[in-house]
Structure 1
Amino acid sequence: MPDHDSKSHAASSDHESRDRESPSADPKPSETLGPQQHELLGAIMQTAVDAIIVINRRGQISHLNPATAVMFGYDSEELIGQNVSLLMDQPDRDQHDGYLQHYQDTRQAKIIGVGREVTGRRHDGTLFPVHLAVSEIKTGSETYYAGIVRDISDLKQAQLELAESNRLLEQRVRERTEQLRQIEAQLARAERLAMLGEISGGIAHEVRNPLNAVRTSIYYLLNATQPTAQKQAEHLQRIDRQVTKIDKVIRTLTSIAKGPQPNSAACDLIELLDDVIDSITVPASISLEKRLEQPELIADVDANQMAIVFRNLLQNAIEAMPDGGQLVIETSTHRMRLIDTGMGITAEDLLKITEPLFSTKSDGMGLGLSICMALLQKNNVDANITSEPGQGTCFELTFLNQGDGGR
């Protein structure tokens, strides 16, 4: 490997001597510098990590630093006086002199004053990416161009590795996303199957008990030797009650399965609630109090479906106060609260209170609140239940589809 530092300096000095001896030689920028500045410039050239190449107006290399020789694999003497296109790849190699002449004629820069990425060519013919920044230097009547060349092979390799890492990461993200989607689908299916199992078990319980009572009564009627008319009537009435109970279970489940879409229209919910209250029996032991922020609460809902919700919630509140209590109805701009002072619900039961076939009542089917929640969701009404055992329960409805009266 040649001593690039000493040879580069010698090559530059010899070339300067030849230029001084020839009247046609290009004057050097260093001729205008004092000894100290000349020494500083030489030190910068010698120690710079990037290649520094100075060319004249004809594109010939007049100065270069040791890093240039190392980067391109030449001895410094080989490059002095050569056209700088020697260090370029096609098409820049053939077009460089044209670029230079075009700039000198038109002052329209394609490279001068514009940093860009180009391809360098080493002595052995290998190509490598470089960043080239060229500036124009004026010294008296002469013009030179100084180029700073940085080998960006490592940068390009890092960019390729980063792009590949990003590609692999995106691929992994897509794979994990698909796995999560499949897991979610499996969980949803498992939840549906679990819910189906719970519902099936609940239905079996709700239907089996009445059927056993019917079977017992039928067995009596078929096998009693001389049943009295009164006994026959009692068993027939018992059969009728149990069949009615089974029918109620079936009709309730059918209403859940059908899930009709709401026929929404502007509705005064306070007036609707009053109509529902008039249609049910409120025991005298329960005091009913209304705390209305304004006389109307208008929302776009299905009045028939909301009537079902109100009836169910009121009935639950009444049944929660068998020994009497207070039922408070509060309204604000877009909310309604039904607050009772009944038995309340435990925190554990509160988590399951809206699940199908879950009931805190010994004789309840556990379908009322699940139907209410389904209807509220269809009508774009948020529901929130809070309760304390022995203190009572608050059922809060927030109506998201406000009518004119709710504004």
Structure 2
Amino acid sequence: MAEMDVDALHQHFRSIMASVPDAMVVINETGAITAFSNTSSTLFGYSEDEVLGQNVSLLMAGKDRANHDTYISRYLQTGIRKIIGIGRTVTARRKDGTLFPIDLKIGEAKIGEHYLFTAFMRDLTEQRRNETRMKALQAELVHFSRLSSVGTMASALAHELNQPLTVVTNYLEAARDLLDAPDEEAMKMIQEALNEAAKQSVRAGQIVRKLRDYVSRGEVDKRPTELVPLISDAIELVQTEMGEGVCRISISIAEDIPDVLVDPIQIQQVVINIVRNAIEAMKDTDDCGIKLSASVVGEDMVMISIEDNGPGIDRDVADQLFKPQASTKSTGMGLGLSICKTIVEAHGGTIEAVSAAGGGTRFVFTLERAEGTHDRD
């Protein structure tokens, strides 16, 4: 009976080693590998036969590879846990020599006078890659946001400054004409001064107009882009900035939605601005919620909808919402939604804010469908 129990236990252990989802390695107190799961073979590139009896430092890198046996002996002598039952991120080494990060957790079992240590390992390569990608994307978006804010401010300044500069120019030119009088020497000096003033005023107006034209026209690097990853990344960035639990955000976009022809960074900025504004507007709402959806409009456009369940907006406010200095926030400069309008229109689309059916606010904007893309099967 005892032999059958032992056989059954062995079979059970073998089934665990064959099916455990994380890489699992068992070592003894000398650091020798006594069991190596199938997922460990996949992760490290070694077969079980290649590693059984080998020192586990074979799978390690750096100082851990050189000092692992010292770690074990120190623990056996002192009983002080540095990693057992705690876990940490370390660098591992595959059979081909490549290094990669893993999440390592270790458990222990004492059998008689001897110890067994079981390591559970999860590959963090993809997670680290995604973290690096998100940080780079976030930095790029922050940079673009700053440029957009400066550009929109410049556009507003151009609008405000062109009119007074035109008036100054007209007055100076009139003064130059009127002062062309008998006192030849004085009039000559005044005329030269007024000529220079007029030239500089005209020049200033030209500079401002060029700046405004540049900002209004924009530079858009459009390319076919999948909508779901674009929006998902934007929402992840908002949640990273403002906190994941601040507001319930749901994305409902069919997988067969066609690609759009956009500059991804700029359209993500539109989504981020609208969602961030919605969250800030709902700071006093008990159950903050935002829904994002998309649908095909006509033959060549895709419409994105961002709807919140906040207090909503008046029709008069909605009409003014996208002007550069409009803001419903006491501390706002009103640049965010103006940026959104500039970006969407530069992409050939339109944007508007309307009252949602159940209260709240719904922003909708359109984007061009990429040529040659059809609804995915």
TM-score normalized by the length of structure 1: 0.38
Greater RCO (Cα-Cα under 8 Å, separation 6 or more): 2
TM-score normalized by the length of structure 2: 0.41
